Structure 1
Amino acid sequence: MPSESPVHFEHQYLDLLRRVWEQGDERRDRTGVGTRSLFGPSMRFDLSGDAVPLLTTKRVAWKTAAREMLWFLTGDTNIRELVRQKVHIWTDWPLDRYRRETGDDIDRNAFEARILDDDAFAARWGDLGPVYGKQWVSWDTYVPAGEGLFRQGEPINQIAQLVSDIRTNPTSRRLLFTGWNVAELSGMALPPCHMTYQYHVAGGRLSGMLWQRSCDLGLGFAFNAFSAAMLLRMLAQQCDLAPGELVWSAGDAHVYLNHEHLVHEQLAREPRGRPVLKLNRRPASIFDYRIDDFEVHEYDPHPHISAPVAV
């Protein structure tokens, strides 16, 4: 008799989605929408053979997630470049601030058009504060300047340091970076949700762990898991290692109450196919990848499921 095919990677996500919806603690949250929440779940994804944890029970705009990851690595914190690439996932936060502070009930299309056309408007209203990319590649430092004063020192590029450390000290327990800069949280449009990444080298394979303080399972997880796998593949390529496992874990894993339709529809679908992520070239550094360096093959997902973003 033929052996049974291995369990599809996506079932662990669907099991968690069901468990959070059926057993999660229902609570009011920062957005006012409300969630059902569980604390401390984890999942493991094998990335060998170019496998990638790209959900198939709904279509995921993986190129949008990839463009966002590449944007993080530039250190940019203004939505203008994302909007220029037709990536809208960060627009709601500055748009909400603009509406609150000006009283102008502008729609998103008009707001983004002004971001692209007006330098001064983009500088003021497109800025997200010191979010992910700023902390990843330009973490501020301060050095004594005499008489109890301090001046700004050289910023720390955590990603460049990580690549160097993986290459030169692969058994280190400090192969990590974080976006959780306590001193700058109040200035961020959104404090980092996918906040700490740690890596481990064994047997010529690079594995990674992503810890999220907060994960929107209905919308955010699909992007978070793909992006973390993509970054791990980039790091492995730059460090002459094979990809190992991606370990995902969360503090507060939740489903928004207005995503009930998404939960039921997605749980009614069966995962299909096993997508793979191909890297088309090896750039000179981790910062030189372009969107056309990535291709996803064998991806035949179910249709997209629309759901609102809670701001």
Structure 2
Amino acid sequence: MALLFENFESWRQYCKDKKLPLYKPVLEYEIEQKGRDEQTIQEGLLKAYQVMKEAVKTGLNSDMTSRSGMIDNGAKKVYNHPVTVLSREFTEVISSALAAKEVNSCMGRVVAAPTAGASGILPGVLTNLQSLHGLSDEKICEGLLVAAGIALIIERNASLAGAVGGCQAETGSAAAMGSGAIVYCLGGTVDQAFNAVAITIQCMLGLVCDPVAGLVEVPCVVRNASAAAIAFSSAQIAIADVNAVIPVDECIEAMGEIGQSMETRYKETALGGLAATLTGKGIAKKVLIQDIEILPDEDTE
């Protein structure tokens, strides 16, 4: 099996023909690709999930101030604020996603799922899904395999990289991975899980990648929180059997087409969007000066 599947339809048909749960073909693919047994793969998944949980914990309990100053303990501020806009559970989803992404921005340890720029989304989604529904680590790991399968197909037919497809390719893909995993873990059907992916992609299409000062901080961190919220809303819609209308494979095609037609300045170059605003340019200049100041003096070496 050189590839997992070419598209979501072939994944769906394979599961139907073989009477397999959605995660199983991805596990088979991992075993074949890595040359490892199922237990070893499961141990790796558990380790990755533990890193995700630790990133959330670190972001909510340690100092998260980036050298640029753009990241300043936002996750803790949200988590501890007395006003809850919707519910305490919603606040925890948002703050968890912020926390894990802030750890990345402050050079901490994260799981790039699918990228470091989107590394707060799955932790924010899965840790809260687990606590809300009392799911086992094993079930969450099955969800991670489903998420991985989603990412592999998106990568094949569009992109996971902001430099190729804009932020829709990074946070959009991560949110789609999360929404599909949510539906799977809550006992949804294959069609519902893929419908959740389609709805998520529809919500994220066209999002540009415009990091201020070229740093994966602003607006990247807050987009991780928003994407986690979209993952949950899409899963809720899909598991209620609301039809996305446009099939998931066509949504991915649209993502790829938009990424190809997007101007270069909107694809991780820091030449457009928020990075090109007056304030964004000022921050970039300040960061550049800081970088120059910390370079070693050749005469003193």
TM-score normalised by the chain length of structure 2 = 0.26
Greater helix proportion: 2
